[in-house]
A and B are shown apart, each in its own frame.
Chain A
Amino acid sequence: MKEVQKPSIDDMLRFCCDIGRSLIKNAAEINRVEETLTLILRAYGFQNTDVFAIPAYLTVDIEENGHINSKFVRIKHAINNMNKLYKLNELSHRICSDGLELSEASRILYDVINEKAYPTAFSYFIYGFIAFFFTAFWKGSLLDCTVAIFSGLMIKAVYSFLAKHKTNLFFNNVCSGVMLCLPPALANALGLACSMDNVIIGSIMLLVPGLGITNVMRDVLSEDFVTAVSKLAEVLIVALGIAIGISLPIAALNALQGLGGVL
């Protein structure tokens, strides 16, 4: 390992907070984030440090020559970009095992942070693609799958519109739930015999928080209970939002057709 110059504390704190924030936003495990930051700080020669993170908050503390320095960042809006997670992981490995000057590391970090996501048109395509194959996966007919493409596009359109106006997670999921029922209902109204159940099941997968479910238990295992509880709350709120969103149009359709029910 190459000897690296010890950076100033301000630069170090800024770098740690930025890489930590980026890791948390992109679905890294919380205890891995804390561990990584501690290792990075050690690689730059800071021994007396403390790091604390929860999904919404990160603080880094360095004690050096009797002075206490700390910085915190507030973290909002997970983006779940696995490509960035992959590259940040690579960067932290390089820092810890090869030794990398902080200026060079920062340059790489900001390149990764500013990296462009897939173009919008392509992400619309992906939403349609996933809805199509999931409907096929749950044994939908070809017609169901085709209608599901439109449901997928609908979800993406609603989601990106609402994200632009910064509405909350619960409302986003309710709206997407309502809107994804529109294409199959419309197809039925036009006289196409598509199964509403199959289309909804296929496109609902785009909203279901599979990522959250897996992460909650892993956080419990690493004894980050605050993180686990806050993620569990997120999962439940999303699930509730989807359920309410979908139930509204179905209940309305049932009422139109004269079928009863509790709603």
Chain B
Amino acid sequence: MTIVYAFFASLGFALLFEIKDYRLVIVSALEGAIGWACYLALSRCCSSYIAVFFATITISALAEVFARLLKSPATLFLVVGIIPLVPGADIYYTMRHLIAGNMGAFGQSMLKTMIVAGAIAVGCSIVTAVMRIHRSMKRMRKAKP
């Protein structure tokens, strides 16, 4: 059920970022749902950081695919797709523990927030790096003959 909510929440963000073409709105919302489904599936067998990491990789890879299919920048899908994975709840609990004066829990949840954010960042940067190598190889091949 949370996957459906993830879809609609991402749909909202797609509209918030002013995407107007309905195909792009639907596809980017789907990205959000797929990313969350990946996360749910992976978090059964490994830690939630690893799950976020691989979910982000999936989203970024799909974003590149959709970007080619629909002839639009990949950023558009990526930005909407990662939204359900962003550690909003962790940021809140970090604050909550600080206010309660519970320093141990505060440190723990702050680290958790930072690791999740880092996992997202590293996940999409890996795909970007691979795409860059791909593009440069293509350019070299084109330049040779």
Contact = CB atoms under 8 A, between A and B. Distances in A.
Interface of A: 27-29, 80-86, 89-90, 93, 117-118, 123, 126-127, 129-130, 133-134, 136-139, 197, 200-201, 204-206, 208, 210-211, 213-214, 216-218, 220-222, 239, 242-243, 246-247, 250-251, 254, 259-263
Given A28-B75, A82-B76, A130-B9, 18 more contacts: A27-B79, A83-B20, A85-B73, A86-B24, A86-B73, A89-B72, A93-B71, A123-B16, A129-B15, A137-B2, A139-B2, A205-B86, A210-B83, A210-B86, A213-B120, A214-B78, A214-B121, A261-B100
A82 B78 CA distance: 11
A38 to B, nearest CB: 14
Contacts of B120: 213-214
Given A204-B92, A205-B88, A210-B79, A218 B128 contact: yes
8 contacts: A90-B71, A127-B16, A130-B12, A133-B5, A133-B8, A214-B79, A247-B99, A254-B99
A197 B92 contact: yes
Contact of B125 (A86, A89, A218): A218
B73 A28 contact: yes
Contacts, number: 141
Interface of B: 2, 5-6, 8-9, 12-21, 24, 71-73, 75-76, 78-79, 82-84, 86, 88-89, 91-92, 94-96, 98-101, 117, 120-122, 124-125, 128-129, 132
Contacts of A251: 99
A262 B78 CA distance: 39
A1 B46 CA distance: 52
Contacts of A118: 15, 18
Contacts of A200: 92
Secondary structure class of chain A's binding surface, majority of residues:
helix
B75 A134 contact: no
Contacts of A246: 92, 95
Closest 8 CB pairs of A and B: A130-B12, A217-B121, A137-B5, A217-B125, A133-B9, A210-B86, A262-B101, A82-B17
A204 B83 CA distance: 12
B132 to A, nearest CB: 8
Given A262-B98, A263-B99, A83 B19 contact: yes
A137 B6 contact: yes
Contacts of A83: 18-21
A218 B24 contact: no
A130 B89 CA distance: 15
B76 A86 contact: yes
B82 A214 contact: yes
A188 B124 CA distance: 41
B121 A216 contact: yes
B22 to A, nearest CB: 12
Contacts of B14: 82
Contacts of A220: 125
Nearest to A127: B16
A204 B124 contact: no
B125 to A, nearest CB: 4
